[in-house]
Chain A
Amino acid sequence: MALVEAFANSLSPMVITDARAPDNPIAWANEAFLKVTGYSTEEIVGRNCRMLQGPATDQATVERIRGAVRAAEPISVELLNYRKDGTPFWNAMTITPVRDSDGLAFFYAAQADMTHIHQLEVSMRGTNDELERLVDARTQDLSAALEQKTALLHEVDHRVKNNLQVISSLMLLKARRTPEGEARDALQSMAERIGALSTAHRMLYSEGDCTHFNLGEFAAEFLADMNAGLDPDRRRIEADVEPIAVAAAMAAPLALLIHELTANALQHAFPGEREGRVSIAARRTDDGMHLIIRDDGVGLAATPVNPAGFGRNLVEMVVRQMRGTIVWADAGPGTTVTIDIPLRPLP
């Protein structure tokens, strides 16, 4: 009976039930089984294994065991069982039907206490939950910070635009209350410059991309604003400007530049009732932007020298700021101003 001894001394809890007796009672259990469950042999022999079940035992698993026992099929399951002292433990068991010459005789069940594995799983789940909670918390912090920054950007953008409107209104109000003459003209042309800056600024941040400025879009708006103040039968501004994307920082200088050259041409190239046309053309080159502003007016030589020369000064300053070059030429007829501004090479 070496085999029986081996079973009896095995560290794995084992139990044998009598399949032929009513209610399949326990017929034999080894020392390890008694130790795990806390019962003595007398307390369990003759009773059904369901005595080990308790309130948190999964009934579906119990049903599976019953089904297998009824069909006399082997089954491996894990079930929450209870010791004599009421403490639960996870019992992993393999139940095997044993037959003799008369048919089904016993069920043999080998078991293993899986409580520590379950504890590990629970604590792993706990650790994962904790990690996820931390990640969630950080993500929330970051989203909140981003939301705050976005709100701040909108607020600043709104204030800048509103202030531009106030400055423009202030200039126009003063112009309206100033008698016709040099002072009034100066205020009027300042208001126009602010208008050009406003047009540029309106286009910044209006779309999703807040780092770029589209010169083509600006030219279209600028043209519409300028032409609205002209008699279309006598004077006309035209533009052929590619949709060049430039850094947002260049929006204001470019807007000022284009406004100044156009306004200058309108003011000086067509004295009296002379009719004329101003054209603005811009295209992207490999390493920059090529801008031409042309009029068919009286030409540079015929233009009276303006002692203040503010317009021309402003233009040259802005071109220098953008590290560009500018050439003023008599085009006969008219004047051609050619500007090259370096841009980051196209990718």
Chain B
Amino acid sequence: MGIGNAGTETALRILVVEDEALIALELESLLEDLGHVMVGVAGTAAEAIALGRSTTPDVALVDIHLVDGPTGIEVARALSADRRTTVVFMTANAKRIPEDFAGAIGVIAKPYSERVVASTLDYVADRRAGRADPACPDGFSPAPA
């Protein structure tokens, strides 16, 4: 597809918090195509928080509805408490996101396109590298400043 532009220096270690196995599986292939590394998949809040602790990912892509209910919000809050992890919601239920975004930097609305996932991860990589004010990719809705 050639949509990935993550070089080895911008490869991100990504935790996927998603209870839908098919979506998680396809996302893993996409992340690989983009040159990133998926460090784990969690389907419940407890799994997600435990995996977050053991892997300290660069990025967590967090769905709101998990096996144990709309617990993605508390997952985001717990994972973003570690400043090494950047949290991005990835959900078809953006209306549930609280005003403060629970520590997440924004949301990718489902159903997403591969392009939006790719450009959002580039944006996250730029932000983490401290590159000055990367332009916010379209299709990604940032949390209010």
Residues of A within 8 A of B (CB): 154, 157-159, 161-162, 164-166, 168-170, 172-173, 176, 195, 198-199, 201-202, 206, 220-221, 224-225, 228-229, 231
Main secondary structure of the interface of A (DSSP, over half): helix
- The interface centre, meaning the residue of B1, B95, B113, B119 with most chain A CB atoms within 10 A of its CB, is B113
Establish whether residues B26 and A172, one from each chain, have CB atoms under 8 Å apart when the complex forms. Answer: yes
Which residues of chain B are near A176, meaning CB under 8 Å? 29
Encode B2-15 as 1/0 by CB contact (under 8 A) with A: 11000000000000
Establish whether residues B22 and A169, one from each chain, have CB atoms under 8 Å apart when the complex forms. Answer: yes
In the docked arrangement, what's the CA distance between A169 and B110, Å? 12
In the docked arrangement, what's the CA distance between A51 and B27, Å? 91
Establish whether residues A164 and B111, one from each chain, have CB atoms under 8 Å apart when the complex forms. Answer: yes
Which residues of chain A are near B138, meaning CB under 8 Å? 220-221, 224
If A161-B92, A162-B20 touch, whether A202 touches B3 (CB-CB below 8 Å) is no
Establish whether residues A202 and B1, one from each chain, have CB atoms under 8 Å apart when the complex forms. Answer: no
Which residues of chain B are near A229, meaning CB under 8 Å? 1-3, 115
Q: Is B93 an interface position by the 8 A CB rule?
A: yes
Which residues of chain B in 78-129 are interfacial with respect to chain A, using CB atoms and an 8 Å cutoff? 92-95, 109-116, 118-119
Which residues of chain A are near B2, meaning CB under 8 Å? 229, 231
B56 to chain A, nearest CB (A): 27
Q: Which residue of A lies closest to B3 (CB)?
A: A228
If A158-B93, A166-B22, A224-B138 touch, whether A172 touches B29 (CB-CB below 8 Å) is yes
Establish whether residues B1 and A170, one from each chain, have CB atoms under 8 Å apart when the complex forms. Answer: no
B36 to chain A, nearest CB (A): 16
In the docked arrangement, what's the CA distance between A220 and B95, Å? 23
Which residues of chain A are near B29, meaning CB under 8 Å? 172-173, 176
Which residues of chain B are near A199, meaning CB under 8 Å? 111, 113
Which residues of chain B are near A161, meaning CB under 8 Å? 92, 109-111
Which residues of chain B are near A221, meaning CB under 8 Å? 138-139
Q: Which residue of B lies closest to A203 (CB)?
A: B109
30 contacts between A and B (CB under 8 A): A154-B95, A157-B92, A158-B65, A159-B92, A161-B109, A161-B110, A162-B20, A162-B111, A164-B111, A165-B23, A165-B110, A165-B111, A168-B26, A169-B23, A169-B25, A169-B27, A170-B26, A172-B26, A176-B29, A199-B113, A202-B111, A206-B109, A221-B138, A225-B115, A228-B113, A228-B115, A228-B119, A229-B1, A229-B3, A231-B2
